[in-house]
Amino acid sequence: MLCPPLRVSLCATALQLVSNGKTFLRVEEELSWLDALRYCRGHHTDLADLQSMNRVSSVKTLYDLTSSTEAWIGLFFNVRIGGLSWSSGSSFSAPVWSLLPSFQEGLCATLYSTVSILPNLGAAPCTAQKPFICYEDPDKVQQNLEEPALSLTTSPEPAVVQMGRLTFKRFDQGTTWLSALLYCRTHHTDLADLQTVTDEAGKEALKSITSETEAWIGLYFNAASGSLSWSSDLGASIPTWLQVPKFGAGLCAGLRTYVRYAPRVSSVACYSLQPFICFYDPSVGHRKSASLPQLLGAPSSKVTVGVTSTPAVPNEGRGTDARDAASATQAQHGSTSTQPSQGKAPAPESGQPFGILKADFTIPAAMDPEDMKDQFLSEIQEVLQRTLGHEQFRLRWIGFEVNKK
């Protein structure tokens, strides 16, 4: 089939499967939800409508189109009805195969997989750039469906302030410090570096994009040096007006303001979901390839990967190879306990390449590594995605070992 001239590259990357007479296609090109909707309607039927697949047996077939990277489907929060709608016009009812995440204005639905045999529903700001899943239904007559208004599906534009050659942008999407850092380095220069904000005019300008909710900036506790650092690597000075509190491992800086006062810094757990402020310096440009900071331990919090792999086996019936990585995260702390490794690596499915991955983290003695496993896996996943690009993989928590050295 010849692809229309618009976005020809999208057609080349599509994976597809057929279920109940419908064809589902995953496209790896990353678009906003609305742009993905336009593409699917222009080339297929619509963004994926899963309403008719509200049984475990039928939705299992979609697993091969999912990965740990979320992909848009046709579900979105419709403010006209104050609830969820399918872009195809189907009536929505809660699925039996996945928990329904919390939705609100500006959020659209994603589909992703973890270690279970069923895909999961997620929610993300509709303006985020993600892969997407279209579908074709030969029995569905092409309709001139109304396009959801932007006000239904997008978050507010970021607040922007200019200070000399530097541009600062605040984004209200809640995310971890590390995720915010990766976004800022890819699309701007880095998380906000405030070393040059020293006068009253600068503080007032910065105040215009802050609120009482802490927003991530580039200041963090560097576990390698045992001191505060800026993620931009542009210097080490900290303006005194920031009134920096005590920091420790695993803590990053959030900037907030009070009614009549200048912004100040709070110490916040780096895995918390907060808004964030990026900055762009045209003399520096983007920093996508910059090394990642060490938040929880030195030297291995960069996730030095040691993988023991089986020989790669071609994966029949898949458009791409999938890497199923079993992750054993090793957490270091000051406890005197001799807790053994929590479980053994499960045998991989036949024909699936796999590996055992260990990463070292240093955490406070009072914290239970099991309670932090989601944070560990999230940070490891961020690093692997930077390293592997769009190669698909799954992480599975196996357990931890205590290193008492």
Domains parsed from the chain with CATH numbers: 8-153 (3.10.100.10), 159-280 (3.10.100.10), 300-397 (no CATH)
How sure is the predictor about 123, in pLDDT bands with cuts at 50, 70 and 90?
A: confident
Please tell me whether the peptide bond between 148 and the residue prior to it is cis, using omega within 30 degrees of 0.
no
Q: What angle do CA 65, 66, 71 make, to 5 degrees?
A: 105
Share of the chain above pLDDT 90, in %: 24
Residue among 361, 197, 203, 187 nearest 270 (CA): 361
262-266, 298-302, 341-345: which range is least confident on average?
A: 298-302
In this prediction, residues 297-323 reach a mean pLDDT of: 35
Residue 294 has pLDDT above 70, yes or no: yes
Residue 261 CA neighbour count, 13 Å, CB half: 11
pLDDT for position 67 = 83
User: Looking at 154-158, 179-183, 379-383, which range is the least confident one?
Assistant: 154-158
Most confident region among 105-119, 308-322, 391-405 by mean pLDDT = 105-119
Residue 351's pLDDT band, with cuts at 50, 70 and 90, is low
Residue type, 200: E
For the chain, what is the mean pLDDT?
74
Give residue 134's pLDDT. Answer: 92
| Listed ranges 27-41, 181-195, 245-259; the one with the highest mean pLDDT | 181-195
Contact 403, 332 (CB under 8 A): yes
Query: If pLDDT is split at 50, 70 and 90, which confidence band does 306 have?
Result: very low
